[in-house]
Amino acid sequence: MISKEDEDVLKGLSAEEGLQFLASKFADGVVFSTSLGQEDQVITDLIFKNKLPIKVFTLDTGRLFYEHYDLLSKNNSRYKTKTEVYFPDASDVEKYVNEKGINAFYYSVENRKECCFIRKVKPLNRALENAKVWITGLRAEQSENRENMPVVEWDEERKLYKYNPLIHWTYQDVLDYIEENKVQDLPLHKKGYISVGCAPCTRAIEPGENPRAGRWWWEESHKECGLHTH
């Protein structure tokens, strides 16, 4: 359990110190879900270089860019470890594609959210089974939906705590860390893909656009897939 006192402590710690604090408080049950984006690469570096007992995993939706797989391989080589990979249920994907079409997500928000649920939310829920603390790479300035997210929050649906160590970091903070620590990141970022999801659902953004504008670019929505809705 994370007490109110623990929450107050975490608010005053750096991201690295916060990860170390939680890793020492919980013998197991602390997990980190990485999408291999820049924020998640920062956290991955903090976990692995400090050899923290935190489970690191990623979701392979089956529609990722090739660059995701290349970076995952480079991470495993650099840190001499293996990030666990979770896949969607094949029968769920087959049913969706055969009934609605391979790119049905373009035709309605409902179809898109169903695809996200099958390919991301359900595998995530499996990965989070028995977890006590879920670490994320969310930042407040990424979208309106994330502006008021706290450093630590209780996820009632999944019955665990979410720790957002970079919630108050700016994008420049992320870039500075990557440069100073020579952290590998997706080549796509230099091509205007700031927030990178599945390949058919992501486009490069124009200068001045919100980083999430490139996600599900054909629709008007809160630009969320269902992983972080609390």
pLDDT tens digit sequence for 189-227: 999 998 899 999 999 999 888 888 899 999 876 555 545
Out of 42-56, 70-84, 120-134, 215-229, least confident range: 215-229
Determine, yes or no, domain membership for 94.
no
Q: What is the per-residue pLDDT across 83-117, written as a single tens digit (0 to 9) for each?
A: 999 999 999 999 999 999 999 999 999 999 999 99
pLDDT at 230: 45
pLDDT greater at residue 78 or residue 230: 78
pLDDT at 226: 47
Determine, yes or no, domain membership for 22.
yes
Determine, yes or no, domain membership for 218.
no
Find the CATH number of the domain harbouring 13.
Answer: 3.40.50.620
What is the domain count for the chain?
1
Q: Which pLDDT band holds residue 145 (cuts at 50, 70, 90)? A: low
Q: CA 67, 68, 71, 76 torsion: positive or negative?
A: negative
31 vs 29: CA distance, rounded Å:
6
Asked if 185 and 171 count as a contact pair (C-beta separation under 8 A), the reply is: no
pLDDT at 149: 84
Q: What three-state secondary structure class fits 135?
A: strand
Q: Which pLDDT band holds residue 144 (cuts at 50, 70, 90)? A: low
**The domain containing residue 137 runs over which residues?**
4-89+122-190
CB atoms within 10 A of CB 93: 17
201: annotated active-site residue:
no
pTM score of the predicted model:
0.90
CB atoms within 10 A of CB 213: 17
CA proximity to 83, closest of 91, 74, 92: 74
pLDDT at 220: 78
Determine, yes or no, domain membership for 226.
no
The residue type found at 28 is D
| Tokens 């007992």 belong to residue | 53
Residues 38-72, buried b or exposed e (16+ Cβ, 10 A)? bbbbbbbbbbbeeebebbbbbbebebbbebbeebb
Determine, yes or no, domain membership for 209.
no
Determine, yes or no, domain membership for 115.
no
CA proximity to 221, closest of 103, 119, 113, 96: 113
Asked if 51 and 202 count as a contact pair (C-beta separation under 8 A), the reply is: no
Q: What is the per-residue pLDDT across 23-44, written as a single tens digit (0 to 9) for each?
A: 999 878 999 999 999 999 999 9
Determine, yes or no, domain membership for 212.
no
Determine, yes or no, domain membership for 144.
yes
